Amino acid sequence: MLTKRIIPCLDVKNGRTVKGTNFLNLRDAGDPVELGARYSDEGADELVFLDISATLEGRSTFLSMVERVAEAIHIPFTVGGGIRTIDDIVKALDAGADKVSLNSAALANPDLINQASKRVGTQSVVVAIDVKRSGTTWTVWTKAGTEPTGRDALVWSREVVERGAGELLVTSMDRDGTTSGYDIELLQVLSECVSVPIIASGGAGTMYHALEAIVHGKADAVLAASIFHYQKIKIKELKQFLHSHGIPVRV
**Alpha-carbon distance 206 to 183, whole Å?**
14
Angstrom distances, CA of residue 181 to CA of 176, 186, 211: 9, 12, 10
Q: In which region does residue 211 sit, left (phi positive, over 0), alpha (psi from -120 to 50) or beta (all else)? A: alpha
Catalytic residue among 51, 88, 130, 183, which? 130
pLDDT of 89:
95
* Residue 130 annotated as catalytic: yes
Please state which of the ranges 23-27, 31-35, 48-52, 193-197 shows the lowest mean pLDDT.
Answer: 23-27
Active site residue 51: no
d(CA 90, CA 86): 6
In this prediction, residue 159 carries a pLDDT of 98
Q: How many CA atoms lie within 13 A of 156 on its CB side?
A: 26
Q: In this predicted model, what pLDDT tens digit does every residue of 187-245 receive, in sequence order?
A: 999 999 999 999 999 999 999 999 999 999 999 999 998 888 778 999 999 999 999 99
Q: CATH for 5-244, among 2.30.40.10, 3.40.50.10490, 3.40.605.10, 3.20.20.70?
A: 3.20.20.70
Cβ count near 93 (within 10 Å): 17
For residue 30, the model assigns a pLDDT of: 66
HSE, side-chain direction, 13 A CA sphere, residue 1: 16
* The model's pTM: 0.90
Exposure of 13 in the CB half-sphere (CA atoms within 13 A): 17
The pLDDT tens digits of the residues spanning 84-135 come to 999 999 999 999 999 999 999 999 999 999 999 999 999 999 999 999 998 8
Per-residue pLDDT, 66: 87
